Each structure stands twice: as C-alpha cells, then as structure tokens.
Structure 1
Amino acid sequence: MKARPFLRSPPFPGIARTVAAVSIVNDAVHDALAVPDSLLDQIAQARVGGTFWGHRRDGVKLVARAGCPFDGQGLGPAEIAILPAREPSRPVDPWSLLAQARSVHAPVEDELAIIGGLLGVPVHGPDGTVIAPERLRDAARQAIAAATYRDCFNGAVASAEDAVRQLADWRRHLDGNRDIAAASGMALWKREAMRRFLWDGDRSPPSFPLQRHCDGQGGQGDRWRSGPRAFLPICWKKPVRRPFRSPASKMVSYAPRVLAPH
C-alpha cells in the first residue's frame, strides 16, 4: 500500500492530485524533533490531517482500525466504527468521528491514533494497553516530518506550517458547503464549474431550474417547499468569507452566498 502524507490535500473533483498536492512523501530522513508543539496544536485546532474532507457519522463511541482488537461490550453496532486499512473511495472525517468517541484502537503510527492523541481521546494499541500521550505526539511529529511540502499554486517549496494554513482554509470552505442542499438559477454552462466549487468533500449539491422547488433535497429543503421563493439562486454580488484559492487555477475566487428565504 502506497504511503500517503498525513497532511494531504482533498481529492478535488476534476483536479489532478499532483496539481492540488500540498505534500509529497519523502524517503529522506527528516528530524521529527524539529516539528514544534505549536504546529501540533495548530493542526488540532484546524482539524486537518488524514481524510478531514470525508463524510460525517454521528453516535460513535468507539473507533478502531480494522484488525486491531477491542472490547465493544455494552455498545451497539451503530456506536462502533471500524475503519478499513486502505483509504476507501468515500472516506469518513476522522476528526468529527474521534471527537465524539470515548476510545480509539489502533497502532501508535496510525492516523487514527495520531488524531486521537491530538484530540486527547484515549488510544489503545493492538495489545490493549493505553498509549502514552507523548508517544502519540512523537508519532505525529514523525508523520509530519516524513513529507516535503509545496505551494500547490506555483510549485514552490513550502513549510509544514504553510500546508496547515492552506488545508485549514480548504476545510473552512468545505465545511461551509455542507449546508447547501441544492443550487438553482445557474446557466447550463456554469453548472460544471459550480459543481466543483460547491463540493463539500463528499458530494456536490444538485442543480435545478429556478422554477423548480427544492423539495426534499436534504438539508433544510423540506422546510423550503412552499411559496415562489422556495429556493433562491446563488448570489455572486457580495463575498461572505475571505477569498478562497482553488487549486484549479491561480485565480482568486470568492465563496458564493446562498440566500435563505425570508
């Protein structure tokens, strides 16, 4: 299985991974001790690392890597999440998953263990013993030092701190897109570009003609079913967040504003 950097870019639709990549696994040995605690704190605060763009699952109390033994006595099937060793085509967001968990079961170098340690969740190794927090922070440092970093907009060499800032910006953008149930009022030639722009890490919202209501299309669609203003078009007039830089180009675009009915 090919190793992937801990701090890595989301798989943006229509964009080659090599273009969007902010990190590359490096065989060279880097000094993990040079990774400061402040960077680990920034990562935990930004909730980036691993498949942070993945879908979210609620109600989980125990998270385990497949193959790692655990005792799930007293927990229902819906309260246990067993994640495969290989990254699936539709991954889960480990940060939202582990933030609600009572325990994590994974090897110390596993991303689940690293993120659990950064969140302060008890992590149990394959032998069932609790892994010391400092060992988990050392594993995080080693994972960060195992990659080199780049500016995906110009290809220049970057630092791990630069990568965290870029990933944090993308996380804010993706999180902001999660509440968009549907898009309407766009010309056909714009829809493909908007599909990519409104991607939330898991899906892109469906597009409808302006006159069609957003009936039952997830999110808040159910309460927008009545009236001629059931779903309003995207407004491009005012930016509501700081500029979002898409790896698709070097242009700076503003995040769209979706207007809710009055």
Structure 2
Amino acid sequence: MGLDLVSLLKSSRVGGNFWGSQPKLPEGRDLIIAPSSRGLALEMLKAANAEGLSGRCVMIDSHGLGAFSTEAPILTGSIDLWHIADGAAAIWANADHELSLVASLLGRSVRYFCGGRFGSLSGDRRLEHVVQQAVSGWTYSCPFSGEAITPARAIKLLSDWRRLIDRNRSISSVLGIAGWKRPTVDPMLWDGSDMPRRSTELSPSFRGGSVVAVWKSRTSTTLLNRISEAGLPVAEIEDGMIRGRGLGANCVPPLSIVVDFTGIYFDPTQTSDLERILQTADMDEALLDRAARLKRTVLDGGISKYDAGSRQELKSKSGHRILVMGQVEDDRSVLNGGPGQTNLGLLMRARQLEPDAWLIYRPHPDVEAGHRKGHIPDHRALQFANEIERGNSIASLIDSVDGVHCITSLGGFEALLRGKQVTTHGVPFYAGWGLTIDLGPIPSRRTRRRSLDELVAATLILYPNYLDPVTRLPCPPEVLVNRIANNEDRLATPLAWLRSSQGKLKAALRRIWDAAA
C-alpha cells in the first residue's frame, strides 16, 4: 500500500497547495530556501551568503514570516510546491516543511536545516514509511456522496482536480459567458486563483501567448476579429454532451462544458481536441471498462442532453421505424457540419432512402420552445413523415425506433449508445470512425477505426468538464449522471421560468398560425 501511495502521489502531483500559483523564478535564482521560522530563515540566508550563494536564493514564505533585510526574492501566498521543486537547482528546507516531502517524491536532493518529520528521506522504503505516516490517522470521505474512501481514491479525486486546474492555468481571460451561466461555468474554469478571469474587452494584458477562452455565440464579431488580428491563441467553450436537465435556450445553466484549445468538436473544417483524442489516443482496458459502465448508467437513467418529456406510445407499433432528428438550422453545428442543409431537406432525403419505413419526425426542443430557427409546419412535414413526435423524451424515443437519420445532431451519438443504426447527412464528431453510415464529406484526417466504448471514453470522459449541482464542485461524469438519474440536478431560476413561459407562448401562437394557414 505504501509504495502504491508513493507512486500515486508522484504521478498525480497532489499534496501541499497544488492548486496554488506557479511563479516563474527570477533569472539566476534557482536555490530555494523554505524555512519555518524567522530565526531559521536568517540562519539559512547566512549560510547561503557564507557559501557565495546569496545571489541565487529565493525564499518561500508560507508561514507569514514577514520582511527581511535581504536581496533574495520572497514568494508568499499559496504556491504550488511541485512547480517550485521542478524549477530549482537546489533546495534547502526545514525538515517539517512540505517542500521536503514534495522534493523527495520528485527524486530531488534536499539539504535540511533542523529536524522534522521529513528529515533524512532517502530511498523508496524510507519514503514509503514517511508517506504512510503522512496519510495514516486520517479519515477520508467523498465530497459528493459523503461515504468513506481510501487514501488512494482521495488522491485520484485530487488528481482529477489537478488536471482541470493545470489545463485552465494557460487561460488569461474568459469572454462571452452570459450572466446566467456563470454560477456553473466559473467553477469548471477554475485555475486555482481567487478571481474569475471574465472580461468584455481585449486588453494589453492578453498579449504574450496566453490563451483567451471564448464562448463565441456570446462574443461580438468585432471582438473576435480583434483577437484574431492580435494573433492570440483561442480556446473555445461550449456546452458538454450531458449538460443537465433543461434547455440552454431557456437559460438553464450548463453542468458540463468543453474547453477546446484546438478547434471545436462540431466544426469538421478544422481539427479539434476531441478529434485528436479519437485519432491518436491509446485507451487502456481500465478506461474502456469505465466507459462501458458510464454508458450503462446513461442508458439505465434514460439520460439525454435534452431529456424533457415523457414516455408515450407511438402510433406505429410494428414495422421498420426511423427517427428523423430536426435541428436548429442556424446552429453552428449545422452551419459548419452540414452547410446549406435544412430540416425539410433532411426529411425529404430520409424518405428517399427509407421509402417503406415509418418515418417519425422529431422537431428540435429549442425550435419547439419557440427560440430558434428550423420550424416546419406540420402539414408540410407530414408530406414526408408518417408521424410528428413531440411528447416523448428523446432517450425513450430513440429506444423505440430501429434507426436514426440526422445532419449533425447529438441525438445521433445518443442513438449509437443505444445500439441503433445511425445515418449522418452532415459531418458530426462521431462520424468517420466506422460506427455510422456517413453521407457527408468525412475529413481525410479521420482514419482510425474506433469501438463504441472508445467513442464514449473520448466524448464523455476525456473531453468535457463536469460540475456537481449539489456541492458545486468539479466532478467526474459519473457523479453528474447519477445526480440527473436521481433528479438532483434541478437549477431553477426566475430567468429560466420566464424564458420557458415565453417560449411556450411563442410556440402555441405559431401552431395556431400554422393551423390557420
């Protein structure tokens, strides 16, 4: 167990204030001194001066020691000790200072001043003993369930947070986050600092290679052009594939986002982080087992990105049933992955390809909610479809059919999870990997053949960020999926109620107009 914990700590780099700042050491300053008292600090500085090293010293003041009469820079506040140990040429520390243990875990040599619990660390067996002492005697509990967990599982959870924080550190500013999204999006963009990095303008501080994270649909074209002209790297933010209960069009904040530093998953004209994962990542058996379990939980819970609705009987009880998924026609997914395509055109092509099937047309929920473009009058849709289905949840509706036709809809991915045949008329992220019938122009970049569990691992585990709606902490996908399944993800707000009421009124008026026409 001890050696396992040592290996876990080394690989996860958690312990100490791992979420703290990662200051760059001043030029030529690579001797780190970490005292635990003012007297010891003076002693260490005196030793450095005697050895001609005072010009190389940087002091870590994590104990509120106060100012010193010294030229050595002093680093204060919450600091990532793993980062500091990585950048140091030499480390002098009090043997009780956490930097001593971190440096030893990284295999760095430490010169000790005064005794302490981490003194004389040498070799894995001694390190194993000290690590055991450091973690024993404590009770660990899962922040999401409250149940007791092992130290190894606690380290794994902290490791997940570390990866999230480190990935977000490169983001200098965040643009385009609507006010109603901020309570859930901000925690998923946390970089360890105290303040959100939201902004509304391009400032000089953005320059220098740091990343600007952008929710493009909420950022002006003028500002996007200025970012492009400045040559700044951009990470694009969008809803994740399991965003929680309720519609974004109704201002229900997302419980999952993606932050793509390469492109965005629904734009096949360029590569994306998700496409790179699918094209290049090696996925081990443990990850694929986890993906299979997650898929089963999603299916058992009837969970969908748009999961509103009930389970009702379809008109056709037998025969070959095909679901045609309507979309928001001016959504960027359609504009990029199926340019020029419309819901009516999709329905017409599906009828040509499935002449004998019972076609069920499902309008997109945001269109039905009265907020977005893509409406087909019922009488026109029924020239090609046998049935228009509005009442069932999408998950139960997919369960009831034999196949799905779509342009780029996420519903096609959800149909794959449920073992259905999927025909894509555009180029969604899940097309081109050997799992779908592809009618759109698949990018030549997509050469890898992937299993369904590999697609799930990439799309639902490796790519998105998730937030637990109960604790408001970043969480693994399994936590959010279980919250949704147990109806613990409601984020009702007055704005969401108002938007929902407005949408219902607009949709009702439109149906009256269609009937009159």
Which range, TM-score by smaller chain? 0.5 to 0.7
Q: Percent identity, please.
A: 25
Answering whether residue 212 of structure 2 is matched by residue 216 of structure 1, we say: no
Q: Does the Cα contact within 8 Å between 1:56 and 1:96 map onto a contact in 2? A: yes
Determine helix, strand or coil for the equivalent of 1:251: helix
Determine helix, strand or coil for the equivalent of 2:130: helix
Q: How much does 1:52 deviate?
A: 0.4
Q: Does the Cα contact within 8 Å between 1:44 and 1:118 map onto a contact in 2? A: yes
Q: How much does 1:205 deviate?
A: 4.4
Q: Any unmatched runs of 5+ in structure 2?
A: 66-74, 214-221, 229-233, 242-257, 259-273, 275-462, 474-478, 484-517
Q: Does the Cα contact within 8 Å between 2:17 and 2:78 map onto a contact in 1? A: yes
Q: Which amino acid aligns with 1:126?
A: F
Determine helix, strand or coil for the equivalent of 1:48: coil
**Aligned counterpart, 2:472:** 248
Q: Which amino acid aligns with 2:472?
A: A
Q: Choose from 110, 129, 133 the match for 1:142.
A: 133
Question: Partners in 2 of 1:124 and 1:137 — Cα distance?
Answer: 20
Determine helix, strand or coil for the equivalent of 1:164: helix
Answering whether residue 24 of structure 2 is matched by residue 58 of structure 1, we say: yes
CA change 1:77–1:58 in 2 (3 A) is farther
CA change 1:89–1:75 in 2 (3 A) is closer
1:26-84 CA deviation, whole Å, 9 max, x = no partner?
xxxxxxxxx42121111011100110000012234323123344332444567412333
Answering whether residue 49 of structure 2 is matched by residue 49 of structure 1, we say: no
Q: Does the Cα contact within 8 Å between 2:32 and 2:91 map onto a contact in 1? A: yes
TM (norm. structure 1) is 0.68
Q: Choose from 184, 190, 204 the match for 2:181.
A: 190
Q: Which amino acid aligns with 1:172?
A: R
Answering whether residue 2 of structure 2 is matched by residue 36 of structure 1, we say: yes
CA change 1:222–1:77 in 2 (3 A) is farther
Determine helix, strand or coil for the equivalent of 1:186: coil
Q: Does the Cα contact within 8 Å between 2:184 and 2:467 map onto a contact in 1? A: no
RMSD value over aligned CA atoms?
Answer: 3.5
Which of structures 1 and 2 has the bigger CA Rg?
Answer: 2
Q: Choose from 99, 108, 119 the match for 2:106.
A: 119
Question: Partners in 2 of 1:196 and 1:168 — Cα distance?
Answer: 16
Q: Does the Cα contact within 8 Å between 1:116 and 1:123 map onto a contact in 2? A: yes
Q: Which has the higher helix share?
A: 2
Q: How much does 1:221 deviate?
A: 5.7
Q: Any unmatched runs of 5+ in structure 1?
A: 1-34, 254-262
1:180-222 CA deviation, whole Å, 9 max, x = no partner?
111112212223433332120124443233xx33542366369
Question: Partners in 2 of 1:47 and 1:126 — Cα distance?
Answer: 24
Q: Does the Cα contact within 8 Å between 1:54 and 1:91 map onto a contact in 2? A: yes
Q: Which amino acid aligns with 1:166?
A: L
Q: Does the Cα contact within 8 Å between 2:169 and 2:191 map onto a contact in 1? A: yes
